[in-house]
Amino acid sequence: MNSITSAAAFTASLDDPFYYLANFQCVLDWVAARHADLLSEPERAFLAEFPRLPRASRALLVRMVMRKGEHFRVSRLAYDEIGEAEAALGPLIEAGWVEAAPPLTLDELFRQLRLAELKQAFADEIAAAGLPKSVAKGVLHAALAERGLESRSLGDWWPGAPDRVVRLTLMDLCDRLRLMFFGNLRQDWAEFVLAELGLQRFESVPFGPESRAFRRRDEVDAYLALHRLRERLDDGECPLALAAEVPGAPDNAWLAARRARLLLKLGREAERRGEAESALEAYAAAGLGEARVRRLRLLERRGEFALAHRLIDAADPVDEAERQALARLRPRLCRKLGLPAPAREIEPAPERLDLVLAPSPGGVERAVAEHLGTLEAPVCFVENTLITGLFGLLCWEAIFAPLPGAFFHPFHSGPADLNREDFVARRRDLFDDCLAELDDGRYRDTVRERFRVKWGLASPFVHWGALDEALLERALAAIPPAHLRALFARLLDDPRANRAGLPDLIQFFPDAPPDVPGYRLIEVKGPGDRLQDNQRRWLAFFHAHDIPVAVCRVRWEAS
């Protein structure tokens, strides 16, 4: 097993002014040791050459890597521990890792210069165009953009510029290295600092040198390609053009799921723009679940009832959400096609509370909690935190089991395969062992001990700020283990979807008779608010398992 299993052991002390350089070098060493077979020759050369540069140059490069964008004004590369930026840049420019005078588009120029500087740089153009001296930055940009000006260096844009702009040429390479280390591009270099400050703490999970996110270089390439397409979509590029660049389905289930999510987003954006054909193609390529539902709804809006009905008949819903959506869509299509409507599923009606309350600055949930709560029957706000928290504490060892591919660096807030189809199947025996504690009463001591020992460690299920010892003890005393087993089993059915939609409040009844649950869950709906689909699914589940729940509908008192 690898000796570095905790983030604390991996991060450099913030007392060292070059802590960020030490952390960066650790990542390079980690990638070189574990991913050498996935690296190209230029990437291996960078890993070998980087430590040979002067420390100030290495530190400046890391500072640039950690900042946003690729272009930097030299005057803004001011760091006390590095010293003179121009001197530190020399070796980076010589190595080809920084471009000394890169061409700048008009947009990039406007990002780099302040308005006063732009007015100096374009004084003649402003005068020739008859623009006022007080011209706004956006107006000036629009006037210049009409001229179709080509990219050029800052010195060519503004011969008298008192500063210069350089460009980091390694951002793509560093993103690739960061991706191979973290297994995602959501986490960045700030993870090291947050861990050192104690603002983020992670479970220590042992893993071997073979534990890594990617097995082949083409998997890294596919991830990066999908990520760049998502970025371009977010920047407003045409979804039709981007859809044509989406790579084919990989033979990697994790990457295939990422590709499907991108296609779903492309379809949604195309539909928003009124590009129905493009949206339908993207939804069809995205596959099942939400994408199939959106495709069917769009076909219905286009009047293609027969095709939509045929697709529903052939559909085997992949989850509760899709089953619920298709059950609503099918009767509408049958009516429009003149076909017999299927039997309507009767939705169970939970206990209903109707309240008229004075408007509360703390929100409708707080108002209901204060109105219903008493010393004998306290009410706590627990939306999506209490049930998931109890589950996360009881099943901690199963969730953080060191399975291959689940953990491969010290900064995991949860297993990397949490949202994959085989997450539970790979740990079935471990989860069964955890849930077995509900049958013999051991679970209470386990939850208490985990709450004490694991406090503050990142978890996908435990939200520490929403849990305290008093709430935990009330829940353990009030919620029967049979109810917890049923609730936890549903979480395991679909951990990603079923972590949401749980009721806002819980009310405890410590003096309830032994044969009556000492609690009830309460979903709160303010004026004009409706139950969401995931909430309706939870309510149906509560009804089926005799779990006490009420829906509280609130109207504000007339002022």
pLDDT in tens, 139-159: 999 999 998 999 999 999 999
H/E element, 555 = strand 549-556
What's the pLDDT at 515?
87
Residue 548 to residue 531: CA distance in whole angstroms: 17
User: With pLDDT > 70 as the criterion, what percentage of the chain qualifies?
Assistant: 97
**pLDDT at residue 337 is higher than 70:** yes
- Compute the radius of gyration of the chain from its Cα atoms: 29
Tell me how many degrees the CA angle 394-409-405 measures, rounded to the nearest 5: 70
What's the pLDDT at 108?
96
Q: Which residues pair with 508 in a beta bridge?
A: 519
**pLDDT at residue 505 is higher than 90:** yes
Residue 289 to residue 316: CA distance in whole angstroms: 10
Query: What domains can be seen in the chain, in order of their start residue?
Result: 7-182 (no CATH), 213-337 (1.25.40), 351-556 (no CATH)
What's the pLDDT at 10?
67
pLDDT in tens, 441-496: 999 999 999 999 999 999 999 999 999 999 999 999 999 999 999 999 999 999 99
What's the pLDDT at 428?
97
- The set of long-range contacts for 45-50, using a CB threshold of 8 Å and a minimum separation of 24, is 46/97, 46/170, 46/173, 49/95, 50/25
Phi, psi of 457 (to 5 degrees): -75, 135
Give the list of residues 6+ apart from residue 286 with CB closer than 8 angstroms, or none.
260, 261, 263, 264, 267
Tracing tokens 């029957």 back to the chain, one arrives at 377
Contact 174, 47 (CB under 8 A): no
What's the pLDDT at 5?
60
What's the pLDDT at 360?
82
pLDDT in tens, 416-442: 999 888 999 999 999 999 999 999 999
H/E element, 273 = none
What's the pLDDT at 195?
67
Tracing tokens 């005078």 back to the chain, one arrives at 101
Q: What is the mean pLDDT of residues 251-257?
A: 89
Q: What is the mean pLDDT of the chain?
A: 93
Residues, the chain: 559
pLDDT in tens, 363-411: 999 999 999 999 999 999 999 999 999 999 999 999 999 998 899 888 8
Q: Looking at per-residue confidence, does 77 or 213 come out higher?
A: 77
**DSSP3 helix / strand / coil % (the chain, rounded to 5):** 55, 10, 40
Nearest to 549 by CA among 467, 487, 473: 487
**pLDDT at residue 44 is higher than 50:** yes
Nearest to 544 by CA among 321, 289, 315, 347: 347
What's the pLDDT at 404?
86
Burial group, residue 114, by CB count within 10 angstroms (0-12, 13-18, 19+) = exposed
* DSSP reduced 3-state for 316: coil
What's the pLDDT at 2?
46
* DSSP reduced 3-state for 208: coil
What's the pLDDT at 1?
38
Per-residue pLDDT band at 133 (split at 50, 70, 90): confident
Name the residue type at position 283. Answer: Y
Nearest to 186 by CA among 216, 227, 218: 227
Nearest to 554 by CA among 486, 504, 481, 479: 504
Q: How far is CA 533 from the centre of its chain?
A: 21
Tracing tokens 């308005």 back to the chain, one arrives at 115
Contact 36, 160 (CB under 8 A): no
Contact 339, 306 (CB under 8 A): no
Residue 211 to residue 403: CA distance in whole angstroms: 9
What's the pLDDT at 206?
86
- The set of long-range contacts for 267-276, using a CB threshold of 8 Å and a minimum separation of 24, is 267/239, 267/291, 267/294, 267/295, 268/294, 269/233, 269/239, 270/239, 270/240, 270/243, 271/298, 273/239, 275/239, 275/240, 276/302
What's the pLDDT at 15?
83
**pLDDT at residue 219 is higher than 70:** yes
pLDDT in tens, 343-376: 887 888 899 999 999 988 889 999 999 999 999 9
Residue 411 to residue 201: CA distance in whole angstroms: 8
Say which range, 3-17, 87-101, 340-354, 470-484, has the weakest mean pLDDT.
3-17
